[in-house]
């Protein structure tokens, strides 16, 4: 099925695919779920650790003139946020395993081409800033994939 048909059927169809890919590649060490707002990660979720997948908007291809390219190439952007609760002041003990989890999430999605699509995901700049408080550490990653419709 083409990206155009998949988008027409469910514009956010990639969310579930990303969730499943992360669940597989993080090997169950992190519960992975889809959310809609950063508040769900930043305040509401109290699990010791969680990976959240969130649609982060679209970016459209532009011509050198600044106009939108009429081929309707869009880059759908997705945020993956790893969040850790009850972190206290234990930074040293957290750095090793959170670094490994961030790399595993990066490796799971960067270069991954979901079934039925012709182009892979690539890393992009996250729109959500990292957050570190006495009770929570939030590590955002962002990915985008080109889709034609």
pLDDT tens for 110-129 read 999 999 899 999 999 999 89
Give the pLDDT confidence of 49-79 residue by residue, as tens digits.
889 999 999 988 766 666 655 567 889 999 9
Cα 85–Cα 90–Cα 91 angle in degrees, nearest 5: 95
pLDDT at residue 96 tops 80: no
Q: Which domain holds residue 32?
A: 3-148
More confident residue, 87 or 136: 136
Indicate the pLDDT class of residue 90, thresholds 50, 70 and 90: low
Phi, psi of 45 (to 5 degrees): -85, 125
The CATH number linked to 138 is: 3.30.2000.10
**109 CB contacts (<8 Å, ≥6 apart)?**
18, 21, 22, 80, 121, 123, 141, 143
Whole-number Cα distances in Å, 97 to 9, 117, 140: 38, 32, 15
Dihedral sign from CA coordinates of 121, 122, 128, 131: positive
For the chain, what is the domain count? 1
Would you state the structure tokens that stand for residue 104, as one six-digit string?
A: 């595993």
């Amino acid at each position: 099925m083409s990206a155009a048909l998949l988008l027409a059927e469910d514009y956010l169809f990639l969310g579930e695919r990303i969730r499943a890919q992360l669940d597989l590649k993080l090997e169950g060490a992190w519960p992975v779920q889809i959310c809609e707002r950063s508040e769900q990660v930043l305040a509401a979720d109290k699990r010791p650790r969680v990976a959240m997948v969130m649609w982060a908007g679209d970016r459209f291809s532009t011509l050198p003139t600044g106009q939108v390219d009429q081929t309707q190439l869009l880059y759908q952007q997705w945020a993956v946020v790893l969040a850790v609760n009850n972190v206290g002041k234990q930074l040293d003990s957290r750095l090793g395993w959170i670094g490994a989890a961030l790399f595993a999430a990066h490796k799971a999605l960067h270069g991954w081409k979901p079934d039925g699509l012709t182009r892979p995901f690539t890393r992009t700049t996250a729109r959500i800033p990292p957050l570190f408080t006495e009770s929570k550490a939030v590590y955002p990653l962002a990915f985008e994939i080109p889709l034609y419709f």
